[in-house]
Amino acid sequence: MPFDWLNPYHLQVASFILINVILGVSIYVTLATGQLSLGNAGFMSIGAYTSAILTTGHGVPMVAGIVSGSLLAGVSGILVGIPALRLSGVYLAIATLGFGEVVRVVFINWESLTGGAVGIAAIPQMGREILAALRDAGFSPESLGLQNNQFISLAVFVILSVTTLAVILFFLRLANSRVGRAYGAIRMDEAAAEATGIDTTYYKVLAFSQGALLSGLAGALYAHATSYVSPADFTYHRAVEILVFAVFGGSEHLLGPVFGAMFLTVIPEVLRFVNDYRHIIYGTLLVLMMVFRPQGVIDPPLLDRLSGREPAEGH
Amino acid sequence: MFAEQLINGITLGSIYAVVALGYTLVFGVLDIINMAHGEIFMFGAFVGMLIVTKVHSSLGIAFAGAIASTAAMGYLLERFALRPLRGKSGGSPLAPLISTIGVSIILENVAHKLFGAGNHLFETPFAEIRFDVGPVTVYLVQVVILAISILLMAGLSLWLRKTRAGKALRATAENLETAALMGVATNRIITATVVIASAMGGVAGVLVGMAFNYINNQMGLAMGLKGLAIIIFGGMGSVGGAMAGGLILGLSETLVVAYGSSGYRDAIAFVAIIVVLLIKPQGLFGQALPGTER
Amino acid sequence: MSRSIRFLCLASMLGFALVFMGAAKDAHKASPPARTRKPPVDAKIGVISIITGQGAGYGEAITNGFKLARDEVNAKGNVKIELVIEDSSGKQEQALAAAQKLINSSQVVAILGPTLSTEMKVVGPEANASGVPIMGTSTTAAGITQIGKYVFRNSLPESLAIPASVRKAVKKYNIRKVAILYGNDDVFTKSGFDSMKKASEDLKLDILTVETFQKGQADYKAQLTKIKNLSPDAVFCSALYEEGAVILSQARKIGIKTPFVGGNGFNSPKVIEIAKGAAEGLVVATPWFADRNTPKVTAFVARYEKAYGKKPDQFAAQAYDALYIMAEALGNAGKADRKLLRDSLAGIRNFDGVLGKFSFDAERDVVMEPNVLIIKGGKFQMFK
């Protein structure tokens, strides 16, 4: 067997890292305009449930389900983002946190659609679906020297890698575009941005719905990676976890939350023995970061130094 | 039935109000939402429980112990998670929010390590005293809880308005730099505020134990989220708003269960804040604060 | 690494061959563990449990049960079991990651756990697809063993437990009107409620109201006051004991004197510890009864108390039996092979454990007669 080293468990962890990376980017995008949204767990659940319901109950193909889940989350983002314009800072954080809780309670109570606390099981799993499709076309993973479960995990990992990479590249480009500069200006000083002719309303809502869409995408992917969703996956703790990714990794550059999500998902897996104290470590990290490095591990000056460039002016 | 549910609602609402007072005090002075308040409250409940059930002391001592320990926690919180962030150049206004979330996670899990995951009995003979008013049974505890919450609110308003320390506190709330220039020892005032707010959390913790007889390490989060909703709903930094907001939330939660569906009970608080924020962002009883502009 | 995989493939191929040759014979014989001078069967068994976070109390009892049984089994000598314990924190994705690790890195022959039904719904398909037998010891929701033919459980499902307690209580107390109270944000209590509702409808009971509560709630008085004013003959309550005990206590305090009927999750010595006198009159159905005076049960309780300083609850007891079932199946299989183990597990009938006589049905689900208990005089007694 040429691929003995390919351990589905490692691929599994890697896949969850990638989903968390998308979640990290989702909170970053909204934060890029200075808006802290803690509603991402809510948007994530909208994406997850939409795709789960469409694919299990209505025979919709998985790709269409994931796309509709993301889009519906994005639209909800617009609907929440517009009234949220009136709020800022902690008010916005708490209101969005409240939004997430309301969504969860609705999913618990809307039993006919969501199955309540029991959740939705037997959601088509990406890897298994692909394997089944390829099987029909006469392909067998053994021909590549892979076992079935290796192939399944690998397929999930590849899909998620491509998606995540696309997301990161898109938003890296965006950061250097007109839109990205507008985001940055709004984050620095909203009034000044407004005065220079930037349509702050438009850009703030855009950022909000982009974040929501990404959370929805992550949720839909999560649903098709685990094949089971229930309201318990999208609690306050999930919202805080997403926040920690951005805070720890850094919220001034896109690569910050990407790094945060990777690091904080790997550590508990590598150090499973620290699992007992994992949450205490999370909490301590949050406090220490705020005290010693509020901008997070990764910030633009660090990136400049890493890439050997002269620090840009103004940092 | 209505009378009984009314009493249930008022009891719950009074506890919410005391929890919310702690939030509102800190917010009023520091413009900070202290996300660790719920967990400090939970620790207060546990200290009170240990004193009552393990040491077999009186409720008075339980209150004193809970207040002392939560006040100490408040001091540590301010000293290590809030003061280092103050005056840091370029610090995000969200930094304290995040750092207190960190403290709340630490406290919740430390409590888990110390006390375990389950419910703990909070039993006092005092909680058994009851009397009948017509067909309705009223427990003395329920009256006491309402009385304590009103006393705390009134005392706090008076203290803020009439005493020197209270005035210094309000000056600090108004403008930290100016107050410092005017000779107010702002660091001391801020520490005092957080300590007092935390001590109120301790009181609320013991009240919960008395009212419901059980406490667990998860209740900080549940109560804390409600308390948060209340201060937004009632108006950030408004003492009266916290009291009114707490009572309104307690009553509406109870009445929704009584006459509607119990499944949506936990959503009420958040639906309420979302609605209030959209209609009147400064809250029902709040004055417009800098954070609510736009 | 590559050698171990090759060995595994070889072993499983050999297993296949053996099964094909011996399946017909085995199925009829169900021979007792061979008491020969053969070397002991060495087996690595994975455990997925909640070590940290909410629900760690259940995980602790479960792992204690496993460890106690493992020590006893190993002392007997014909099966040597090594446990590899992984934490799930009660979360699906962590449970799945733990399962992957056990299946692929630790190369376990079977998995015990995970603790929650929600976790099993994610882990079960994975283990099944990988051909690793998995047995839930506390997963009681509907549809668990239907996941696939490698999925087993020895935990009494609520769909068996609740009708048993409801039927007995209705008959004894002549119950006509009931109020139902359940936790609607938890799979366990929600599926318990579904069984409860169905059982009530089957018995043509008048359901006066259905009330819900949520995790972490401290105050149940609003729901209970409403129930009290409808004056039902009994309150059916689908709750885990942590919440259930508090509900009972508050219910008695506001003056609800009717019997409470609960399911399997409501049964724990802790109910009496937490609710004290208020626990009187609670009727539950359970696989586990610590005061059943059989030598097996008495010995287990004594050893468990000696090892861990507290009485075993049903989670510990089910875990304890589960490991013994595994050991017996391993002994029958003759070697630590996943496929062989699956087949010999599926053949377990009339296993005699601390929970009583236990068999798997054709769908690898539980066949056993639940005990219906009532709390009287501060302790659980058989409800007759």
- SS3 for chain A is CCCCCCCHHHHHHHHHHHHHHHHHHHHHHHHCCCCCCCCHHHHHHHHHHHHHHHHHHCCCCHHHHHHHHHHHHHHHHHHHHHHHCCCCHHHHHHHHHHHHHHHHHHHHHCHHHHCHHHCECCCCCHHHHHHHHHHHCCCCHHHHCCCHHHHHHHHHHHHHHHHHHHHHHHHHHHHCCHHHHHHHHHHHCHHHHHHCCCCHHHHHHHHHHHHHHHHHHHHHHHHHHHCCECHHHHCHHHHHHHHHHHHHHCCCCCHHHHHHHHHHHHHHHHCHHHHHHHHHHHHHHHHHHHHHCCCCCCCHHHHHHHCCCCCCCCC
When scoring B262, B264, B265 by the number of chain C Cβ atoms within 10 A, the one with the most, hence best to mutate, is B262
- Cα separation of A241 and B105, whole Å? 11
- A5, A128, A228 member nearest C122 (Cβ): A228
| pLDDT above 80: residue B201 | yes
Q: Does A181 touch chain C (CB under 8 A)?
A: no
The half-sphere exposure of B72 on its side-chain side, counting CA atoms within 13 A, is 8
Secondary structure letter of residue C293 according to DSSP: -
Residues A203-209 have a mean pLDDT of 91
Least trusted range by pLDDT, from A218-232, B69-83, B108-122, C309-323: B108-122
Give the bridge partners for C329, in sequence order. Answer: none
Give the bridge partners for A67, in sequence order. Answer: none
Q: Does B274 touch chain C (CB under 8 A)?
A: no
- A236, A277, A294 member nearest B91 (Cβ): A294
Instruction: Yes or no: say if C112 and C322 are a contact pair by the CB < 8 Å rule.
Output: yes
- C5, C118, C130 member nearest A232 (Cβ): C118
| Long-range contacts (CB closer than 8 Å, 24 or more residues apart) made by A257-263 | A257/A21, A257/A24, A257/A25, A257/A27, A257/A28, A258/A21, A258/A24, A258/A25, A258/A168, A259/A297, A259/A298, A260/A24, A260/A296, A260/A297, A261/A17, A261/A20, A261/A21, A261/A23, A261/A24, A262/A17, A262/A20, A262/A21, A263/A297
The residue that leads in pLDDT, A102 or C26, is A102
| pLDDT above 50: residue A9 | yes
| pLDDT above 80: residue B229 | yes
Q: Does A132 touch chain C (CB under 8 A)?
A: no
The residue that leads in pLDDT, A314 or A4, is A4
Among A192-206, B62-76, B80-94, which range has the highest average pLDDT?
A: B62-76
For residue A118, what is the nearest residue in chain C, using CA coordinates?
C187
Least trusted range by pLDDT, from A217-226, A245-254, A306-315: A306-315
| pLDDT above 50: residue B294 | no
What pTM value is reported for the model? Answer: 0.80
* Minimal CA separation from A115 to chain C, in Å: 10
pLDDT for A169: 92
- Averages of pLDDT over each 10 residues, chain C, 384 residues: 44 41 38 56 92 81 94 90 90 84 88 89 89 91 87 89 90 91 85 90 92 83 90 91 87 89 82 85 86 86 92 90 94 91 93 91 89 87 83
pLDDT for C135: 95
| Chain A CB contacts of C217 below 8 Å | none
- Candidates C236, C350, C382, C329; CA nearest to C41 is C329
pLDDT for C328: 93
- Candidates A223, A247, A224; CA nearest to A234 is A223
Token pair belonging to C243? 């919440």
* Minimal CA separation from B229 to chain C, in Å: 16
| Contact: A109, C184; criterion CB under 8 Å | yes
- Cα separation of A217 and B11, whole Å? 43
For residue C228, what is the nearest residue in chain B, using CA coordinates?
B1
List the subunits that have 3+ CB pairs under 8 angstroms with B.
A, C
* Minimal CA separation from B127 to chain A, in Å: 33
Q: What is the mean pLDDT of chain C?
A: 84
pLDDT for B55: 83
pLDDT for C18: 39
Secondary structure letter of residue C170 according to DSSP: H
Residue type, A304: D
Q: How many CB atoms lie within 10 A of CB A201?
A: 12
Instruction: Yes or no: say if B33 and B97 are a contact pair by the CB < 8 Å rule.
Output: yes
- Cα separation of A235 and A38, whole Å? 11
| pLDDT above 70: residue B120 | yes
- A12, A272, A276 member nearest C100 (Cβ): A12
Angle in degrees, 0-180, between the axes of helices B239-259 and B140-162, rounded to the nearest 10: 150
| Contact: C97, A118; criterion CB under 8 Å | no
Q: Any residues with CB less than 8 A from the CB of A292 and at least 6 apart, and which?
A: none
Among A36-50, A240-254, B130-144, C251-265, which range has the highest average pLDDT?
A: A36-50
* Minimal CA separation from A80 to chain B, in Å: 10
* Minimal CA separation from C77 to chain A, in Å: 30
Residues B157-166 have a mean pLDDT of 83
The answer to whether ipTM exceeds 0.90 is: no
Between A and C, how many CB-CB pairs are < 8 A?
95
